[in-house]
Amino acid sequence: PDPGKLEPQCGTVPRSDTNASADARFTDATMADTPRRITSSLHPATPGSAGLDLATSTTVTLLESSVHLLPTGIFGPPGPQKSALLIGRSSTSLSGLFVLPGVVDSDSVGEIKIMAWTPFSPCTVPQGTRLKQLIPFPYNPPPTLGEHKERVGGFGSTGTPQILWVQTISDKCHTCKFTLSLQGQQITLSGILDTGADVTVISHAKWPPTWALTEVPHALTGIGGSSCSCQSLHLIQVTGPEGHIASIKPFVLSVPMVLWGQDVLSQWGFKI
């Protein structure tokens, strides 16, 4: 097989196509030109098969290692009083394409998509490649949940999402030396400028032990996720290389670097 191209059968023994009949195959043009199919059009490969195969409805090329949503042309709901599990076929993982599990709710009428990623990009997934299995199971919602309404959508969160922005920090980032002063004591630290941090973060290993700290009741997010932190009890005077002066209470974390935040740069009128 060609490098970077996923084999539709992933090198396994051929099994009958459980996605749909040949006359319902999607074209490789656009999703708008393809017929809408529902989960009732899926059939198990054998009488003993627990899952129904889901295949890609178009040819897709994964150019990055991030998670991609691949169309199937199959729409919910899974069936009367049913929900469904979505799991990847084992042969798919052996080929280097990893499919993430999911759940199709009983009230979902949107398209069921395949969440997949690969560490070996670019990777082309041909139309009709069977990547995932849909396993229906009975679901009777409790009467206390109120009226059962269908909804369109999916692949999102029904609660408040928490997304922590992450940037790779390396020696290629812009650094600058600032002087910190408190009650006659001074230290000079080299820190990173272009992280987009709102506040200044000082490595605990570089913080003078005689400078008092106070615990912060809330976590600081964005530094390796969500971290408990301390903050300077007193205002610290920060002097830049051109003599600019700012007064801040920096955060002190168990991190290996110093990050100069907007709390300093904004007092100098700098923007990054």
Label residue 134 left, alpha or beta by phi (over 0 means left) and psi (-120 to 50 means alpha).
beta
Q: How many CA atoms lie within 13 A of 202 on its CB side?
A: 26
What torsion do the CA atoms of 24, 29, 34, 37 make, to the nearest 10 degrees? 70
Distance CA 236, CA 29 (A): 61
CA torsion through residues 170, 171, 172, 178, sign: positive
Name the nearest CA neighbour of 223 among 204, 237, 241.
204
User: Exposed/middle/buried for 46, CB within 10 Å: 0-12, 13-18, 19+?
Assistant: exposed
Which tokens in the block code for residue 189?
A: 């630290």
Question: 194 an active-site residue?
Answer: yes
Distance CA 82, CA 38 (A): 14
User: Exposed/middle/buried for 101, CB within 10 Å: 0-12, 13-18, 19+?
Assistant: exposed
Strand partners, 116: 68, 99
Distance CA 45, CA 55 (A): 13
Question: Choosing from 33, 53, 194, 263, which is the catalytic residue?
Answer: 194
| Residues involved in catalysis | 194
